[in-house]
Structure 1
Amino acid sequence: MKIAVISDIHGNVLALEAVLADLRMEAPDIVVNLGDCVSGPLWPEETAAILRETAWPTVRGNHDRFLIEDPVEKLGQTDAFAIERLTAESLEWLTSTQPVIRLTEEIFLCHGTPDDDDRYLTEKVEGPKGHLPDEDNLLEDLKGETSPIVCCGHTHIPRLIRLRETGQILLNPGSVGLPSYEDDHPHRHKMESGSPHARYALMTSNGGAWNFQDKALSYDWDAASREAEKNGRPDWSRSLARGFYGPLS
């Protein structure tokens, strides 16, 4: 069994197309999507149109939830750009996504933590950036979820963590479409992967044991950067071109 795990596309259809090309070569048995699919100053509808056709099991990310639940006038700049461009079909598809998915008896999928799509699991924010939490924090944030493998996104930072106490594996594949960003929850901080590559992960079962592979793919990130700049987001432009957050110098 080979499972591809993707997350946090954020409307970057060019990065998604690179992942799709790689998936055709890898030929996984199933692809799962951990959410935050279309929000961003790029190509929200083009991205949604592809995802509607894939029929991948898809978790609802926090930005997906904002788009289908929050009044338009209360949306932030990133989500407002997307909602103005999404068709009724794409919004209906977003509504069909699920808060969490129990894929098998072994594998649990969520966007943030098992009970909160807007809380980091595999990063802890202290100071201006995130870092690896300790095991006690991780066990607490699992909220009693006992699946042997928990796949999550939201942080945009790839992680593979094994908890010694429970033997559980926590997998974060990183972000397909946005390698860094700034947020003010729980306080202002940056998340930076440090490279502009499109990222996803593979899980392969081998005689009952699971092996994991990080994938980092080249694509035309300069074109994505230019699109963000054209749409009034120099912060996204630098992130997409370099993997670090902030306006282009």
Structure 2
Amino acid sequence: MRWAILSDVHGNLEAFQAVIGDLRAEKADQIAFLGDVVGYGADPNECLSLLRNLTDWVIAGNHDYGAVGLTDIDVFNPMARAAILWTREKLSGENQAYLRRLLLFRNNGNVTFVHATPNQPEEWYYLFTFPEAEEAFLSLSGDLAFVGHSHRPLILTKEGSGEVEAVNLEETVLKPGVRYIINVGSVGQPRDGHPEAAYGLYDEDTKRFRLKRLPYDVETAQRKIIKAGLPPFLAQRLSRGI
């Protein structure tokens, strides 16, 4: 089975449409979405409509829960909080109910799909350091986890009791006896210096993971954010990938 794994659309309709168009060419058997379909961007309902028609393998992100009052947005930075409050006012009742039903994680065999980390997913921890990754591997029940949340693609490995290591990001073949945590990056707000929309492809048969980056109409997404009255930096950052 070939999986397409997406995360962190954040209301960016133009980026989401670009990825969906590419998915048709990739012909994935299953599509997983790792959370944060809303927040930051100007098209929350439109992105939710696309997502609901795309797949039912959907995980909750902190912005999804924040938009419907299921997580504390007081811990969000001021721009993120402003965007969530704006999103709350815009979401349809049907989409609010949909977000409330989303789970924090799902498993498929020995593979975990989660927005933040396998350890305490409701706390929305980040995986920026090797010690943080060690904690995540301790809670990983299987051999592989796909995550999002940080908006920064990353592949972490741990073999037995050895130390956590980072491996080639763009493409890798998973090895037997090694466990992996793979961050698939962000569709709608990349933060690794690459403004292109990012998502992952994983082939269960060949054990090959590949990160894809796609150009999209950044200027239109930026104009919508400004027109909506959202913080201008949320538009500016899109062209810089920060």
**Aligned partner (choices 203, 216, 220) of residue 219 of structure 1:** 216
Task: Write out per-residue CA displacement over residues 52-93 of structure 1, whole angstroms, 9 at most, x where no aligned residue.
Answer: 222331111111111222599968201111111111111111
Match of 2:183 in 1: 172
Report the Cα distance in structure 2 between the residues aligned to 1:111 and 1:237, rounded to whole angstroms: 23
| Identical amino acids, percent of aligned pairs | 30
Match of 2:56 in 1: 56
**Aligned partner (choices 126, 132, 135) of residue 120 of structure 1:** 126
Q: How much does 1:218 deviate?
A: 0.7
Where do 5+ consecutive residues of structure 2 fail to align? Answer: 162-177
Secondary structure class of the residue paired with 1:35: coil
Q: How much does 1:113 deviate?
A: 1.1
Report the Cα distance in structure 2 between the residues aligned to 1:19 and 1:155, rounded to whole angstroms: 19
TM-score w.r.t. the length of structure 1 is 0.81
**Aligned partner (choices 91, 97, 114) of residue 92 of structure 1:** 97
Counterpart contact for 1:41–1:81, Cα < 8 Å: no
Counterpart contact for 2:62–2:71, Cα < 8 Å: no
Secondary structure class of the residue paired with 1:154: coil
Secondary structure class of the residue paired with 1:63: helix
The structure showing larger relative contact order (alpha-carbon pairs under 8 Å, at least 6 residues apart) is 2
Of Structure 1 and Structure 2, which has the larger fraction of its residues in helix? 2
Q: How much does 1:41 deviate?
A: 3.6
Counterpart contact for 2:11–2:47, Cα < 8 Å: yes
Match of 2:111 in 1: 107
Match of 1:22 in 2: 22
Report the Cα distance in structure 2 between the residues aligned to 1:202 and 1:71, rounded to whole angstroms: 30
Report the Cα distance in structure 1 between the residues aligned to 2:71 and 2:154, rounded to whole angstroms: 34
CA RMSD of aligned residues (A): 2.0
**Aligned partner (choices 231, 237, 240) of residue 239 of structure 1:** 237
Counterpart contact for 1:3–1:30, Cα < 8 Å: yes
Match of 1:32 in 2: 32
Report the Cα distance in structure 2 between the residues aligned to 1:72 and 1:149, rounded to whole angstroms: 29
Match of 2:148 in 1: 153
Q: How much does 1:143 deviate?
A: 4.1
TM-score w.r.t. the length of structure 2 is 0.84
Secondary structure class of the residue paired with 1:108: strand
Counterpart contact for 2:116–2:125, Cα < 8 Å: yes
Match of 1:130 in 2: none
Task: Write out per-residue CA displacement over residues 89-109 of structure 1, whole angstroms, 9 at most, x where no aligned residue.
Answer: 11111122111101x222101
Read off the aligned partner of 2:134 and give its amino acid letter. L
Report the Cα distance in structure 2 between the residues aligned to 1:46 and 1:109, rounded to whole angstroms: 24
Change in CA separation of 1:137 and 1:86 when aligned onto 2, cut-off 3 Å = closer
